[in-house]
Chain A
C-alpha cells in the first residue's frame, strides 16, 4: 500500500497590491492540510478557493501551461525567483520541498521595467519590446531554400538550441541586483548569431536589442551571475559573453 499522502500546515506571507499605483503590503495567510503532491501554483489555487469562500479577494497570479514551458508563472518565493529548487519554474515546484510549519514569503518579480499589475502579476511587455527591436531573422514567408541546403554543424545547432530554450519568464531580471535583462537579450542574440541564417543582421540586432533594453529601464550586467543561477532553463552566462562580443564587433562594424 502506498504511504498516505503527507500534508503540511503552512503560513504564506504574501504580497498584496491592488494595482500599479496602490501601495502594497504583506499579508499573512495560514494554510492547512496542504498535500505534498501539490505544485506551488496549485497551492495558490487552493488558497484562492479558501479566500473566495471567505468572501475575500483571491491572490492574482499569472500561470498558463503549468508544465514549465510557457514562462507565464513566476514569483519570488523565499527570496528566490521561482523558489528554492534549481532549474524549476514555480508551476513545477512541489510542496514536498517544504516542511510542516514553514512560513513562506511570496513576492512579485521586482524590477523597474516590470510594473506590478496586481499582487503577483507584473507587466513584462518590455521583454516583447526587446524582441521587436531585432530578436528574429528577417525572412518573409515563402521562397526559402531547401532546409538541407545549408548544413549547420551539430555542435553549433546544439549551442543555438541551448540559448533558444529561454522561456521569457523574466526570472533573470528579478534575480539580478541591477534588474538587468542581459541574460534574456543574450540568449536570443546568441541563438541567432551562432546560426549562419542570423549572421547578416547580427551587428544590427545586437546594437538594437541592447539599446531597447536600456530604453526600457533595465540595468546593466554586473557579473553577479544570479541570473544563470536562477534561470529555470539553466541558460548560461556564456551567452552574455557572446552578446558582449557581438556588441563590440557591432560597434566597429556599424557607423551610427
Chain B
C-alpha cells in the first residue's frame, strides 16, 4: 500500500504557509454548491462546522446527544496550551513543538506538530474574540499557569472548566450558523455507516435515536470528529455515549487505523467502589504537586491510614524516582500505582487504589494555602467519596482518559479514503505515543478552526465529484446492512445485559492491554475477546424494539463495534515490540524498569487495514522522519 502523508517541502517553519498558498481555492460563489457532513460537535466538530459554514459551504452536522453543547470536550478541566510567551519565560512556537514531540516519545510527525504549535496562538486570539472568559491577572491581561510538568507557563484556563468554555464558544459559533441557514443540525443521531462511492466518501447512514429510523445523507465530503475510544475499558473518564463506532465503520469501509494501542491512562482519578460503577471522575493532576503517593508497605495491611505508622508506609514514587518523586509523568505514575495494587498493597473498598496524602503539605503550608490551591478539587472529591482530603488521605487510581491512536490522516487531515477527513481525538496525528496535558483542546480547535477550512478547499478544487443522491445503491446497501445488524441484535434475546458483557470487555482490556502489556497477556486477550464476541452474539439481551427510543439497543450496537475493534488494539500492542510513551511492554524495559524505545525498528506509525470479520487486519508502516529534533531517551530517576 502506498501511503503519502503529503508533507510539504521546505523548512519546518515555512511548510504550512507554503502549503496554504499551494492549495487551490474554491471560488466563493461555488462554495455553497458543496455539502459537507460533520459527525460530532465537540471542539473539533463544532469549530469545523462553524468555520466551514462561515466560508459559505453547506453543512449537515450530527451529534449523539440531545444538543451539540453536550459533547464530551465539555468535561476537559485543565486548560489549553499556546505558545504566546505572554509570561516572558522562554516559551516559543519551537519550544511547544519540541515539548509535544518529546512528550509523544518521538512517535508523531514533525510537520503536523509544528503546525499545531504555530496555530495555538491563533486559537487563543479567536477564543477571546468569541467572549470566552479566560482567567485574567490584576492588570486585565490573560493569566497562564504551568501544567503537566511543563517548565513554562503557557496554559490558558477558565477556572477548572476550560473545556466547557471553549466548547460553548464553538457551540455559539455553530448556533449562529444554524440561525443563518448554513448549518442543518441533526441531534440524537448515531452514525451507523460511511457511504463510499467511486472510492470517495459521499455520505453517511445514521440512526435517529428518537424514532429508530435509519436515515441516509449524501454529501461531497464527510468529516469525522467523533472523538476517541477510551471507553473500550468500560471504566474511563469518557462520557457514556463516547464510542469508536463512527471511526470503526470507516475502518471497515477501508479507512486505515493508526497506532490503536496508544491509549492514555490518567493517574489521578477517583477509584471505583464496586461493580455498579459506570465511570471514573478525573481530578486535575496538579494534585501531585503537593500530595504524596503511598501504600502500606506490607501486603494485606488493612489498618486505617492514620493508624499506619510512617515506617510501614511505602512512598513508592519517591523511593523509586528520587529526583522527580510524585511528579513523574502520567504513564509512569499510573503504571506504578497498578503494580502496587497488583502486588496486594492496594487500599480502599476494592483494594484498587493508592493514597494521595496532603497531611505533610497542610502541616507545612497551612490548611488555607492548600484550600486555595485545591479547594474545588477537594470539594469534588468529597462529594463523590464522602471523605474529606483535609482529614484523611485521598484515594486515587488510574483511569483511561484519552486515546492518541485514531484514523490515519495525511497532512491535510484527510484519510486514505478521498473526501473523508478526520479531526480531533478521532485522528492519530499529533500526540504520538503520549499526549501532554492541555494539548487536546489545542488540537481539536486547531484542526477545526484553522486547518480544515483550508485543506478541504484544496480537495474540492482538485477533485471531480459526480452528482449523487441517497437513491444510489451504496446507500441502500448501507441501510440494509445497518438494519440487519440491529435486527440481529434484537433477535438474540439471550440472558446477559449489554452492560454486563461490556464490563467484561473492559476488564480484559484493562488487564491485558492497559498500562502495561506483554506478549503472553496480549495473546490471552485475543482468545478472551474471541470468546466474548461469540458470547455476545449468542447471549446478549436487548429489550424493547428497534423502532423507537432504545438506549439498550444503542449500547449494544456500540459494544458490537468495540468488541471487534478491541482486537485491532491488541494486534497493534503485540506488533510494537518496544515500549514508548503510554505503550509499556514489560519485555522491553531498561534495567531500572523504564520504557525501552527501539528507534531502529519502531520509529514508525503502525497502520492497520481491515480485512473482514474474524480476519487479522493487514499491517502497514509510515516511517517517521526526524530532521529537526534529535531523538532522546527520557529519564526520571
- Answer yes or no: B302 CB below 8 A from chain A CBs: yes
Contacts of A49 in B (CB 8 A): 497, 499-500
Known: A64-B241, A198-B131. A131 touches B172 (CB 8 A): yes
Chain B positions 50-72 with a Cβ under 8 Å from a chain A Cβ: 50-51, 54, 65-72
Contact of A153 among B50, B140, B165 (CB under 8 A): B140
Is A84 located at the chain interface by the 8 A CB criterion? no
Is B154 an interface residue when CB atoms closer than 8 A count as contact? no
User: Is the Cβ of A131 less than 8 Å from the Cβ of B128?
Assistant: no
Closest to B141 in A: A148
* Residue of B176, B383, B549 with most partner-chain A CB within 10 A: B176
Q: Which residues of B contact A5 (CB under 8 A)?
A: 273-274, 349
Q: Does B6 contact A (CB under 8 A)?
A: no
> A60 CA to B363 CA in the complex, in Å?
49
Q: In the docked arrangement, what's the CA distance between A145 and B241, Å?
A: 37
Question: Which residue from A19, A66, A121 sits with its C-beta under 8 Å from B240?
Answer: A66
CB distance from A13 to the nearest CB of B (A): 21
Complex interface: stretch among B197-205, B277-285, B425-433: B277-285
Q: How far is the CA of A147 from the CA of B123 in the complex (A)?
A: 9
Within 8 A of B (CB), among A1-41: 1-2, 5, 19, 35, 37-39, 41
In contact, A69 and B175 (Cβ under 8 angstroms): no
With a cutoff of 8 Å between Cβ atoms, the chain A residues found around residue B240 in the complex are: 63-66
In the complex, are the beta carbons of B543 and A55 less than 8 A apart?
Answer: yes
* Given A35-B273, A65-B75, residue A168 in contact with residue B349 (CB < 8 A): no
Cα–Cα, bound, A128→B175 (Å): 7
A180 within 8 A of B: no
Q: Which of B156-164, B321-329, B468-476 contacts A (4 or more CB under 8 A)?
A: B156-164
Q: Quick one: which of A40-69 are within 8 Å of B by CB?
A: 41-42, 45-46, 48-49, 51-53, 55-58, 60, 62-67, 69
Q: Quick check: B274 and A35 within 8 Å, CB to CB?
A: yes
Write the nearest CB–CB distance from B108 to chain A, whole angstroms: 25
Q: Tell me the smallest distance from the CB of B381 to a CB of chain A, in Å.
A: 12
Contacts of A146 in B (CB 8 A): 125
Which of A88-96, A171-179, A220-228, A248-256 interfaces with chain B?
A88-96
For residue A151, which residues in chain B have a CB less than 8 angstroms away from its CB? 136, 139-141
At the interface, yes or no: B418 with Cβ under 8 Å from chain A? no
A64-B239 in contact given A42-B277, A53-B541, A151-B141 (Cβ < 8 Å): yes
Contacts of B164 in A (CB 8 A): 69, 165, 167
Map CB proximity to A onto B546-566 as digits: 1 under 8 Å, 0 otherwise.
001101100000000000000
Counting contact residues on chain B (CB < 8 A from A), the size range is 35 or more
Q: Judge if B487 is at the interface, Cβ distance under 8 Å.
A: no
Q: Which of B158-209 contact A (CB under 8 A)?
A: 158-159, 161, 164-165, 168, 171-173, 175-176, 178-179, 185, 187
* A57 and B543 within 8 A (CB): yes
A144 B65 Cβ-Cβ under 8 A: no
B124 within 8 A of A: yes
Residues of A within 8 A of B135 (CB): 157, 161
In the complex, A136 has a CB within 8 A of chain B:
yes
Q: Smallest distance from the beta carbon of A41 to chain B beta carbons, Å?
A: 7
B129 contacts chain A at the CB level, 8 A cutoff: yes
Enumerate chain A residues within 8 angstroms of B497, measured Cβ to Cβ: 49, 52-53
Q: Does A72 contact B (CB under 8 A)?
A: yes
A161 near B158 (CB under 8 angstroms)?
A: yes
Q: Is A135 an interface residue (CB 8 A)?
A: yes
Residues of B within 8 A of A152 (CB): 136, 140
* Known A1-B302, A49-B499, A64-B240: A147·B124 in contact at CB below 8 Å: yes
* B274, A165: Cβ atoms closer than 8 Å: no
Q: What residues of chain A lie closer than 8 Å to B141, measured between beta carbons? A: 148, 151
A154 to B168, CA, bound (A): 21
**A141 B175 Cβ-Cβ under 8 A:** no
CB of A99 closer than 8 Å to a CB of B: no
A-chain residues with CB within 8 Å of residue B131 when the two chains form the complex: 136-137, 160, 191-192, 195, 197-198
Contact with A along B35-60 (1 / 0, CB 8 A): 00000000000010011001000000
Q: Does A102 contact B (CB under 8 A)?
A: no
B142 and A136 contacting across the interface, CB-CB below 8 Å: no
Is B130 an interface residue when CB atoms closer than 8 A count as contact? yes
**Residues on B with beta carbons closer than 8 Å to the beta carbon of A141:** 47, 50-51, 54, 126, 173, 449-450, 453
Judging by beta carbons under 8 Å apart, are A128 and B125 in contact? Answer: no
Q: Bound state CA distance, A164 and B172, in angstroms? A: 12
Contact residues in A for B495 (Cβ distance below 8 Å): 53
A6 CA / B577 CA spacing, docked (Å): 47
CA distance A210 to B349 in the complex (A): 51
With A160-B133, A161-B158 already in contact, the answer to whether A66 and B278 are too (CB < 8 A) is yes
Q: Which of A39, A52, A63 has the most CB of B within 10 A?
A: A52
Between A and B, 22 residue pairs with Cβ closer than 8 Å are: A37-B349, A46-B276, A49-B497, A52-B543, A57-B544, A64-B241, A65-B70, A66-B278, A67-B75, A70-B65, A70-B72, A117-B210, A117-B549, A123-B66, A125-B66, A128-B178, A131-B175, A139-B173, A141-B126, A142-B450, A145-B129, A192-B131
Q: Beyond A154-B140, A160-B131: 10 further Cβ-contacts under 8 Å?
A: A39-B278, A57-B544, A60-B551, A65-B72, A67-B281, A88-B383, A92-B384, A147-B128, A147-B134, A148-B141
The chain A residues found within 8 Å of chain B, CB to CB, are: 1-2, 5, 19, 35, 37-39, 41-42, 45-46, 48-49, 51-53, 55-58, 60, 62-67, 69-72, 88, 92, 94, 96, 117-118, 121, 123-125, 127-128, 131-133, 135-142, 144-148, 150-154, 157-158, 160-161, 164-165, 167-168, 191-192, 195, 197-198
Interface residue ranges, B against A (CB under 8 Å)? 47, 50-51, 54, 65-72, 74-75, 84, 86, 122, 124-142, 158-159, 161, 164-165, 168, 171-173, 175-176, 178-179, 185, 187, 210, 237, 239-241, 273-274, 276-279, 281-282, 302-304, 348-349, 383-384, 386, 449-450, 453, 495, 497, 499-500, 541, 543-544, 548-549, 551-552
